[in-house]
C-alpha cells in the first residue's frame, strides 16, 4: 500500500516547522556570536554546535516533506536578537525557546492524528523525543547557572565545561 501524499494542511504546518527550525538555528547562531565577542568561548562553541543541530533538524523536515510528495520551502528569516544582557539571559531564552518548539511539535503531532496521517505522526516522534532532551539540557544548564550566580570563577569554570559538553549528551 502506498502512503498518501501530505494534505495541504499538514504540508503547510510542516513548512512552518521548517521555518521554526531555521529560525532556531539563526537564534542560536546570534547567541553564539555574542558569547564569543564577550569572551565566553566555551558557551560560544556550545551554541555554534546547537545552531548546527537546529539546521540539521530543519533539513530532516525539508527532506521528509519532499519525500512525501510535498515541496519543502526554504524560508526567509528575520534577523534574531543580537544583544543580550548576560549568559544567564541567553540560557533563559534558550529554555523558553525550546518550550515553544515543543509546543509547536506537539501541535503538529495532534494535527497528524486528527488528519489520520500516521506516517507523519511516526516521523514526528523523533522530534518529540528530541524536544524532551533539549528541554532537559536547557533546564540543567539553567540550574547550574542559578548555583553559580554572578561568581566570576564559577562562570569561568562553567564556560570551560560547556566547551566540552557534547550537544548529543543531553542527560
What's the pLDDT tens digit per position in 12-59?
A: 999 999 999 999 999 999 999 999 999 999 999 999 999 999 999 999
Over residues 136-163, the mean pLDDT reads 95
Over residues 3-20, the mean pLDDT reads 93
C-alpha distances in angstroms, 48 versus 5, 43, 54, 165? 35, 9, 10, 12
- Taking the C-alpha atoms of residue 133 and residue 34, their distance in angstroms, rounded to an integer, is 25
User: Which grid cell is 121?
Assistant: 505522526
pLDDT band of 3, cuts 50, 70, 90: low
Domain count along the chain: 1
Which pTM does this prediction carry?
Answer: 0.91
Name which residue leads in pLDDT, 11 or 3: 11
Element (H or E) spanning 145, and its range? helix 118-148
Binding site annotation covers 21? yes
pLDDT band of 5, cuts 50, 70, 90: confident
Provide the CATH number for the domain around residue 64: 1.20.1260.10
DSSP state at residue 144: H
Mean pLDDT taken over the chain: 94
Binding site annotation covers 150? no
pLDDT at 165: 80
Binding site annotation covers 19? no
Q: Is residue 154 part of a domain?
A: yes
Q: Is residue 3 part of a domain?
A: no
Over residues 92-103, the mean pLDDT reads 97
pLDDT at 127: 98
Q: Is residue 79 part of a domain?
A: yes
Q: Is residue 130 part of a domain?
A: yes
Q: Is residue 1 part of a domain?
A: no
Q: Is residue 143 part of a domain?
A: yes
pLDDT at 55: 97
Q: Is the dihedral of CA 155, 160, 165, 167 positive or negative?
A: positive
Binding site annotation covers 67? no
Residue 135 belongs to domain spanning: 8-164
Q: Is residue 169 part of a domain?
A: no
Q: Does residue 171 carry a pLDDT above 50? A: no
Q: Is residue 24 part of a domain?
A: yes
Binding site annotation covers 54? yes
pLDDT at 36: 97
Amino acid at each position: 500500500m502506498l502512503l498518501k501524499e501530505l494534505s495541504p494542511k499538514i504540508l503547510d504546518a510542516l513548512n512552518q516547522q521548517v521555518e521554526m527550525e531555521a529560525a532556531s538555528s539563526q537564534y542560536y547562531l546570534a547567541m553564539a556570536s555574542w558569547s564569543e565577542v564577550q569572551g565566553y568561548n566555551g558557551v560560544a562553541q556550545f551554541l555554534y554546535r546547537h545552531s548546527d543541530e537546529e539546521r540539521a533538524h530543519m533539513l530532516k523536515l525539508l527532506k521528509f516533506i519532499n519525500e512525501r510528495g510535498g515541496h519543502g520551502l526554504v524560508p526567509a528569516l528575520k534577523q534574531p536578537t543580537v544583544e543580550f544582557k548576560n549568559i544567564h539571559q541567553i540560557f533563559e531564552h534558550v529554555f523558553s525557546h525550546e518550550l515553544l518548539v515543543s509546543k509547536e511539535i506537539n501541535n503538529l503531532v495532534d494535527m497528524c492524528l486528527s488528519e489520520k496521517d500516521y506516517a507523519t505522526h511516526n516521523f514526528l516522534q523523533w522530534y518529540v523525543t528530541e524536544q524532551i532532551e533539549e528541554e532537559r539540557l536547557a533546564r540543567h544548564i539553567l540550574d547550574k547557572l542559578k548555583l553559580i550566580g554572578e561568581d566570576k570563577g564559577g562562570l569561568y569554570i562553567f564556560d570551560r565545561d560547556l566547551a566540552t559538553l557534547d550537544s548529543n549528551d543531553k542527560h
